[in-house]
A and B are shown apart, each in its own frame.
Chain A
Amino acid sequence: AEVEETLKRIQSHKGVIGTMVVNAEGIPIRTTLDNSTTVQYAGLLHQLTVKAKSTVRDIDPQNDLTFLRIRSKKHEIMVAPGNLAFNFICKASLYLTA
């Protein structure tokens, strides 16, 4: 359906390694990575997202987290938090592979 199409579009973007959708408890709903990696990322990044959100809110109560990017030596991880339920995690490579 539309969900699949959207995910497929993002996945096929230049340089994207994998995407996943995580619900409010940190349980992955949709993923294109393998199971163990998905579970690991979901657990770790969910906690980080919650922490980042609370940090932004604490600094300014009217503010809110819109996007979170973690850039490492090898990859970049992008997290788009949802209002209520979902988070979107995208892992992108930093280098263009042929």
Chain B
Amino acid sequence: MLVFHRHSIQEETEDKRMAANRAAWFLLCWEHQAAQAALRPPPPCRAARAGPRRPQAPADPTLAASAPGRSAPSLSLASVLTSVLHFLQERLRLPQDVSFENRGRRCDRSKNGAISLTFPVFRSWKRGERRPLHQAGSAGAVALATGGTASAEGPGRPGSLQDETLGVASVPSQWRGVQGICRETKSCQTASIATAEASAQVRKHADAQVQTEAPVPVTVLPLSQHDTSRLTAFLRRVEAMVIRELNKNWQSHAFDGFEVNWMEPQQTVSCLHTLGYPPAQGQGLHVTSVSWNATGSVLACAYGRLDDGDWSTLKSFVCAWNLDRRGLNPQQPSAVVEVPSAVMCLAFHPTQPSHVAGGLYSGEVVVWDMSRSEDPLLWRTGLTDDTHTDPVCQVIWLPEPRHSHRFRLLSAAADGKVLLWQGAGTGQLQLAEGFALLVQQLPRSTKLKKPSRGETEVGVTAVAFSSFDSSLFILGTEGGFPLKCSLAAEEVALTRMPSSVPLRAPAQFTFSPHGGPVYSVSYSPFHRNLFLSAGTDGHIHLYSVLQAQPLTSLQLSHKYLFAVRWSPVRPLVFAAASGEGDVQLFDLQKSSQKPTVSIVQTQDGSPVYCLEFNSQQTQLLAAGDANGTVKVWQLSTAFTEQGPRETEDLDQLAAEVAT
């Protein structure tokens, strides 16, 4: 590409010098041309192959052929030229600052390496073209252009050829700067890579089972032949003795009247605790209901008012005391729940020690979890079409028919509906089954006083379930007549009340009425046919399920009777709460006419509204009154120890069914 005619070194110094000058001149010219070419667009290849148009062209074909871009080849060419020039200078020992003149052209090379060319410029301009002064060195190419443009002379000045001396065109050497400059960073950036992470997880599980061996049930051994003879001999020997002893039993009086008491007998009934909640008492609230929990250690009571009219916006409380805890403060319950509406009845869950259900004055049924101090509300019915329109008088937990460890909630209210609620997942109680009582659909086993027309509901005031037959229950009504009902009743109730579940008429049998509404019924836990009902006429009726007339009727008080409960341990004992402020305990074995013990709860004669026996600690009885206090009574052992022959006596009592 670069043809360099190298003169032989052996020539004379003069020749050498001349040659060196000429070479240097050529090189400089080439450098200059290279710089020029940098600013001119490279001519098309065809033109280049055709031959140079201009005298300065020789460098151009090379440039054009090899130039993909403007600046790069001129870079390399110029730098090559410069380096060659420097090489030559070194070899020929040319002084650094050399200047020579040739036919009017002057070339100066100063010490710092700047080469300045001075040459006559022939005024042969192409029309419209500028001929700026160049400075070699592509780093300064743009600067050259600008610099050159500034000092260029305007075109179109025709005139005769004249020699002019133009300004110095200095070409800075690239020797020193060659290392530093000419660096162009080119970088390319790929498009940003989008990454996404996805992971999958494989679940490995291993089944491990542990099984204890079921205890092998010991079965009765069949006897082999060999043993039979021995057994026969043994029995022969023993039989006589056994028969003799059995006979002695029947004839012996040794144990007549002999009764052993393993515990310290307590002769009297005493008050263990007097519990109250001062803020509720300050508002004058009554205790409407008490309930013991599944373990028998927590007592909950509900505050409200029982003598309200039709509407009440009273706030109420549900308080729970843990009686087994040390440091029990009677005035400070261990858990208090504030309820926006008055709570009329309470029932603890039979197996969960902290869940308690309550029926409100507004007709709602709510379940709380007393172990949670913030937001104890578990489930509620809300105010839908299904909820009661009257205050709920009683709530009872019932085991589900198929899953006996799960429970449903039954609520009864004065609007005549008995509803079964199921806890759904969202905290909402949903109606599972429903019953409605209408006067027209009551069985006519007893002549009722005022059969009314139309579809009148029968208000329910009390519910009691049989412990022998889980679908049989007794309802106490506002009309004073208890009703025997069944959960399995099929007859559809002719009611216009809207409901999501079809309501059925549950009544199967009507008993003869009290003189006033029945406020409480209680089914005997020892006998499948007996139940008690207490009404506002102050009487207690002992009914047998088999007949409409009561077996016995006892007058306990001249005022209302609010609650009656059978004792869970003694078949012949029951307790009643009266409006005169006392709790009366009856022992039918001792006396069937008057109460065995009459406990005075309130000093001022305000009524006792509710009472409950503790089925785990059988000597405890809780009663709540109108002053807002709950008293826990410890019963004497006479009431907790089952005496001999009680069950038989009860059977005898029940057998007095009038024929």
Residue of B232, B242, B644 touching A90 (CB-CB under 8 A): B242
Task: Determine if B250 and A15 form an interchain contact, defined as CB atoms under 8 angstroms apart.
Answer: yes
B491, CB-defined interface residue at 8 Å: no
Total chain A interface residues with beta-carbon distance under 8 A: 43
**Which residues of B166-221 have CB atoms within 8 Å of chain A's CB atoms?**
217-221
Q: How far is the CA of A31 from the CA of B241 in the complex (A)?
A: 19
Given A80-B238, A82-B238: A2 in contact with B232 (beta carbons within 8 A) = yes
State in angstroms the CA–CA spacing of A43 and B218 once bound together: 10
Known contacts A21-B235, A82-B234, A88-B235; A35 and B241 CB within 8 A of each other: no
Stretch at the interface among B9-17, B75-83, B134-142, B223-231: B223-231
Closest to B641 in A: A73
Q: Does B239 contact A (CB under 8 A)?
A: yes
Report the Cα distance A28→B250, complex, angstroms.
Answer: 27
Which one of A1, A13, A92 contacts B228 once the chains associate, using CB atoms below 8 Å?
Answer: A1
Considering only residues 629-653 of chain B, those with a C-beta below 8 Å from chain A are: 644-645, 648
State which residues 4-22 of A face B: CB under 8 Å.
Answer: 6-7, 9-10, 13-16, 21
Residue B246, interface by CB 8 Å = yes
Q: Please name the residue on chain B nearest to A88 by beta carbon.
A: B238
Q: Which residue of A lies closest to B237 (CB)?
A: A82
Q: Give Cα A23–Cα B234 distance, bound, in whole angstroms.
A: 11
Which residues of chain A come closer than 8 Å to B645, judged between CB atoms?
Answer: 95
Range for the number of chain B residues in contact with chain A: 20 to 34
Question: Which listed residue, A29, A78, A80, touches B231 by the CB 8 Å rule?
Answer: A29
Interface string of A60-93 (1 = CB under 8 A from B): 0000001101010110101010111110101010
Chain B residues closer than 8 Å to A16, beta-carbon distance: 246
Cβ-defined contact, B249 with A28, below 8 A: no
C-alpha spacing A76/B255, complex, angstroms? 12
CA distance A1 to B220 in the complex (A): 18
Q: Which DSSP category, helix, strand, loop or mixed, fits chain A's interface?
A: mixed
- In the assembled complex, the CB of B250 is this many whole angstroms from the nearest CB of chain A, namely 6
Of A6, A67, A85, A94, the residue contacting B230 (CB under 8 A) is: A85
A6 contacts B239, C-beta separation under 8 Å: yes
Does B243 reach chain A (CB closer than 8 Å)? yes
Chain A proximity of B450: nearest CB distance (Å):
46
* CB-defined contacts of B255 to chain A, threshold 8 Å: 71
Contact A66 B220 (CB under 8 A): no
Whether B219 lies near A35 (C-beta < 8 A) is yes
Q: Please tell me if the beta carbons of A92 and B238 are within 8 angstroms of each other in the complex.
A: no
Hey, which chain A residues are within 8 Å of B221, CB to CB? 23, 27-29
B236 touches A (CB below 8 Å) = yes
Residues in B whose Cβ lies below 8 Å from that of A31: 220
Q: Is the Cβ of A86 less than 8 Å from the Cβ of B234?
A: yes
Q: Which residue of A lies closest to B223 (CB)?
A: A29
Q: Is A92 within 8 A of B230, CB to CB? A: no
Q: Which residues of A contact B239 (CB under 8 A)?
A: 6, 9-10
The answer to whether A14 and B250 touch across the interface, beta carbons within 8 angstroms, is: yes
Identity of the chain A residue whose Cβ is nearest the Cβ of B228 in the assembled complex: A3
User: Which of chain A's residues have a CB closer than 8 A to the CB of B241?
Assistant: 66-67, 80
Task: Bits for A12-48, please: 1 = Cβ < 8 Å to B, else 0.
Answer: 0111100001010001111100010011001100000
| Interfacial residues, chain B to chain A (CB-CB below 8 A) | 217-221, 223, 227-228, 230-232, 234-239, 241-243, 245-246, 249-250, 255, 644-645, 648
Question: Footprint of B on A, CB under 8 Å?
Answer: 1-3, 6-7, 9-10, 13-16, 21, 23, 27-31, 35, 38-39, 42-43, 66-67, 69, 71, 73-74, 76, 78, 80, 82-86, 88, 90, 92, 94-96
Please, could you name 15 A-B residue pairs with CB atoms under 8 Å apart, sorted by A? A2-B236, A13-B243, A15-B246, A15-B250, A21-B231, A23-B221, A27-B218, A28-B218, A30-B220, A43-B218, A80-B238, A80-B241, A86-B234, A88-B238, A92-B246
What 8 A-B pairs come out closest when comparing CB atoms?
A80-B238, A6-B235, A86-B234, A82-B234, A39-B218, A88-B238, A28-B220, A2-B232
